[in-house]
């Protein structure tokens, strides 16, 4: 019987189906299955090993040098990558179209070239003239970056497969690349996967650091870079709210560094500008003495970030009350509301509640609970939280405020930014020597700041 030569692949999660369906059973996304031709699958080895070479197993102990690094010259990018690019590694830079990926990588290319590294920027989206225009806008026309506009992976591979080739290669974007041996259209899952695989293999053999740009669309109409996440060493997401100048580069996977670091940039007429002190930026537009506003002393990776949390409790019209959250988890908001009602007697079940993290930052920490609760109570009662108070702490279901990590760093940052008081959870009992040393630090940091434990 002749086998069907087509299959349906979910462009979001990569699940394969023999028949088309409106909804992917794997990830639950709608309209993500597209028809692609069945690619050759390797035959199983069958029977015994044939022609394989014995591999040598070694012990865990033994010397391995830390991977060498190429600092990019953009310190926010270095922070997120864990100290610079690792030769032979692949980085995926994902983000919505228009968020600034090409801008960031053009600047990174120029900065790297400035440190003497040979860089190739291959654009499949824009013609050379357009890339040059952007470089001119960024004031980077003098940078020694090799530029090409190409989409055929066979040509690109032939160019890069060179021992004297570039040490950093930027592919903008992976969705425009295609391998002519596949029938599927560029941007389809098979193409994205095959092209990434080929480029990553080249990066490993030739030792260059590879940046792959990937667009993320909510509709899933372009192959989601999610399928590439396991193929690359590092996944960076470039995010930001439209209408805000801030752009945040976040590591969601990193084989060579921590994943909770963020890099903060500001998009200006002259390109992306690094923001060394995000707290000052996020608090810049704060108006003092209004109800429903509270400053949260948060942490992003190793760096403290103070942001304003805004809440609005409004009388609800007909129907079920609205809950709208920007920058925080809506489930977490529901929990804080429930605790406020059950433990503090603040019933907001009949009110509309809006919560916003000012500046477009997205907070994932439960440590923001207390600041959210303070903002909600402030709005509900019409009492402003004093402008020089910073708040942090996790709220438990029984209404208790729980200790959170890095209290010292948060307090230090608040003191540095001129806050006079902090509402903080009770301190953890010091454990062993490390804890005792930490305690010594604490008394120092709190000098400028009154810490009220709640
Ligand atoms: P771009 O890097 O092309 O986004 P992506 O590659 O992620 O699709 O940047 C797109 C936006 O950035 C565009 O709307 C214009 C804006 N921009 C600036 O504001 N300043 C600049 O210096 C540059 C180059 C772009
Ligand atoms: Mg682009």
Q: Does the beta carbon of 290 lie inside 6 Å of ligand 1?
A: no
- Cα of 99 to ligand 1 centre, how many Å? 6
| Separation between Cα atoms, residue 19 and residue 1, nearest integer Å | 18
Q: Does the beta carbon of 100 lie inside 6 Å of ligand 1?
A: yes
Q: Does the beta carbon of 103 lie inside 6 Å of ligand 1?
A: yes
* pLDDT reported for residue 1: 44
* pLDDT reported for residue 165: 92
* pLDDT reported for residue 45: 54
Atom of ligand 1 nearest to the CA of 270: 22
| Separation between Cα atoms, residue 334 and residue 260, nearest integer Å | 25
| Separation between Cα atoms, residue 247 and residue 100, nearest integer Å | 8
| Separation between Cα atoms, residue 347 and residue 245, nearest integer Å | 36
Per-run averaged pLDDT (10 residues), the chain, 454 residues: 70 84 85 74 54 86 81 92 93 90 95 94 95 94 93 94 93 92 87 92 95 76 65 90 82 87 90 89 82 93 90 87 92 94 89 90 91 95 93 94 92 90 81 40 50 74
Yes or no: say if 380 and 285 are a contact pair by the CB < 8 Å rule: no
Residues with CB under 5 A from ligand 2 (ion): 102
Q: Does the beta carbon of 134 lie inside 6 Å of ligand 1?
A: yes
Q: What angle do CA 32, 26, 36 make, to 5 degrees?
A: 45
**Nearest bound ligand to the CA of residue 123:** 2
* pLDDT reported for residue 50: 66
| Binding residue ranges | 95-102
Atom of ligand 1 nearest to the CA of 173: 6
Yes or no: say if 251 and 211 are a contact pair by the CB < 8 Å rule: no
Half-sphere exposure of 7 (CA within 13 A, CB side): 16
| Separation between Cα atoms, residue 147 and residue 251, nearest integer Å | 27
Contacts of 438 (CB under 8 A, 6+ apart): 408, 430
| Binding residue ranges for ATP | 95-102
* pLDDT reported for residue 441: 38
Atom of ligand 1 nearest to the CA of 172: 6
- Cα of 125 to ligand 2 centre, how many Å? 7
With a threshold of 0.95, tell me whether the complex ipTM lies above it.
Answer: yes
């Amino acid at each position: 019987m002749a086998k069907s030569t087509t299959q349906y692949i979910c462009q979001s999660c990569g699940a394969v189906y023999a028949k088309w369906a409106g909804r992917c059973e794997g990830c639950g996304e709608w309209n993500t299955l597209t028809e692609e031709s069945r690619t050759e699958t390797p035959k199983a080895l069958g029977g015994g090993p044939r022609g394989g070479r014995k591999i040598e197993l070694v012990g865990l102990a033994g010397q391995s040098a830390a991977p060498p690094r190429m600092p990019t010259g953009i310190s926010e990018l270095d922070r997120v990558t864990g100290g610079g690019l690792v030769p032979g590694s692949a980085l995926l830079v994902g983000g919505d179209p228009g968020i600034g990926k090409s801008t960031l990588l053009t600047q990174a290319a120029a900065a790297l070239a400035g440190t003497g590294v040979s860089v190739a920027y291959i654009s499949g989206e824009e013609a050379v003239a357009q890339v040059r225009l952007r470089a001119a806008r960024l004031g980077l026309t003098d940078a020694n970056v090799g530029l090409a506009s190409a989409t055929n992976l066979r040509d690109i591979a032939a160019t890069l497969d060179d021992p004297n080739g570039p040490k950093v290669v930027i592919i903008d974007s992976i969705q425009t690349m295609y391998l002519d041996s596949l029938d599927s259209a560029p941007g389809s899952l098979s193409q994205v996967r095959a092209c990434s695989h080929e480029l990553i293999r080249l990066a490993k053999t030739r030792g260059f650091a590879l940046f792959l740009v990937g667009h993320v669309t909510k509709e899933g109409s372009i192959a989601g870079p999610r399928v590439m996440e396991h193929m690359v060493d590092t996944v960076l997401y470039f995010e930001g709210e439209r209408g805000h100048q801030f752009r945040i580069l976040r590591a969601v996977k990193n084989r060579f560094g921590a994943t909770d670091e963020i890099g903060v940039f500001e998009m200006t007429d002259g390109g992306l500008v690094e923001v060394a002190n995000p707290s000052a930026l996020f608090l810049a537009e704060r108006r003092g003495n209004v109800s429903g506003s509270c400053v949260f002393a948060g942490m992003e990776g190793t760096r403290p970030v103070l942001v304003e949390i805004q809440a609005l409790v409004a009388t609800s019209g007909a129907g079920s009350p609205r809950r709208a959250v920007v920058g925080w988890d809506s489930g977490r908001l529901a929990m804080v509301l429930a605790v406020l009602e059950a433990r503090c007697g603040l019933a907001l079940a009949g009110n509309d509640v809006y919560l916003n993290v000012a500046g477009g930052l997205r907070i994932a920490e439960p440590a923001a609970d207390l600041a959210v609760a303070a903002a909600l109570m402030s709005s509900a009662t019409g009492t402003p939280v004093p402008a020089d108070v910073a708040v942090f702490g996790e709220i438990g279901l029984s209404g208790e405020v729980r200790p959170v990590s890095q209290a010292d760093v948060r307090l230090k940052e608040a003191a540095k930014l001129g806050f006079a008081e902090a509402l903080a959870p009770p301190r953890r009992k010091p454990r062993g020597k490390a804890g005792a040393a930490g305690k010594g630090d604490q008394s120092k940091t709190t000098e400028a700041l009154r810490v009220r434990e709640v």
